[in-house]
Amino acid sequence: MTTQQAPGLEQIRDAWNAVADGFDRFVTPESMVLGREVVLRLGLRPGTRLLDVGAGSGALTIPAARIGADVVATDLAPAMIERLTARALAEGLSSVRGRIMDGNALDLDDDTFDVAASVNGVSVFPDMERGLAELVRVTRPGGRVVIAAFGPLPTVEFIVFCAGAVRAAVPGAMPLPTDPPPLPFQAAHPDVLRERMVDAGLREIRIDPFTWESAFDSARHLWDTFTASHPIGAQTAAALDDGQQAEVVRVLEGTLRERSAGAPGAVLSAQVNIGTGTVC
């Protein structure tokens, strides 16, 4: 078994700042499908006090604000909050407040929010337990905490396709680790997510599966999304030279055409588990 060394706060901030441009361009538009699903399942209403932790550039915040929720959106990376704020301003969403903040040490009062949520945010923290504890702390009694997290790695096709293309294009390329899995998959099994939420003191816990579908119009679009989706993707790309990356895209072109009966793009799916619990 290998051991993952937890990166430091500055390292995490710098890594997410570095991918913020691509994340906002390629990832957030697709992630809003997932954000809207969370909003619908929560039944948010105008005036609901919502905290979005690990907000990125607004995949959950923007859909929630569109229906009138009063949203505080936090992220460790200043570049993400800059882009989230720009999206809110562009739509005239005055109920959004973006704040640069460590999700493991929220500078927020206890019992403040009706709902505290995180979409592929807290679930990728090196210390997920602490992040969950902070969500619970700032949520009022009777309020809800929501975590949306990737299901098992084999069900997340945009990662599977790209990782497979790298191995096919670059002999000797290391596969993604499985023991332990990458941080985005640390709570991939519903029972693990439930256990983490129980340990955080939540009750009335529900874990609901959701199939998130994303449309990629080309292999280049898919590769750009993968490399911007997480520092792991960026590190994967950085380890390849231009020729190797071109070969990866060529392999992906064949994979997508096989999926879509010859078309250059395809719709890929990802299993996401949406965990909801009530604060005592």
Go through the domains of the chain in sequence order and give each one's CATH number: 9-278 (3.40.50.150)
Which has the closest alpha carbon to 272: 77, 69, 113, 35?
Answer: 35
Segment 75-121, tens digit of pLDDT:
999 999 999 999 999 999 999 999 999 999 999 999 999 999 999 99
Q: Is the predicted pLDDT of residue 5 greater than 80, yes or no?
A: no
Question: Tokens for 223?
Answer: 């590769």
**Whole-number Å distance between alpha carbons of 41 and 272:** 14
Confidence of residue 4 (pLDDT cuts 50, 70, 90): very low
The pair of three-digit structure tokens given for residue 116, joined into one six-digit string:
């505290």
> Counting Cβ atoms within 10 Å, is residue 175 exposed (0-12), middle (13-18) or buried (19+)?
exposed
Least confident segment among 55-59, 170-174, 205-209: 170-174
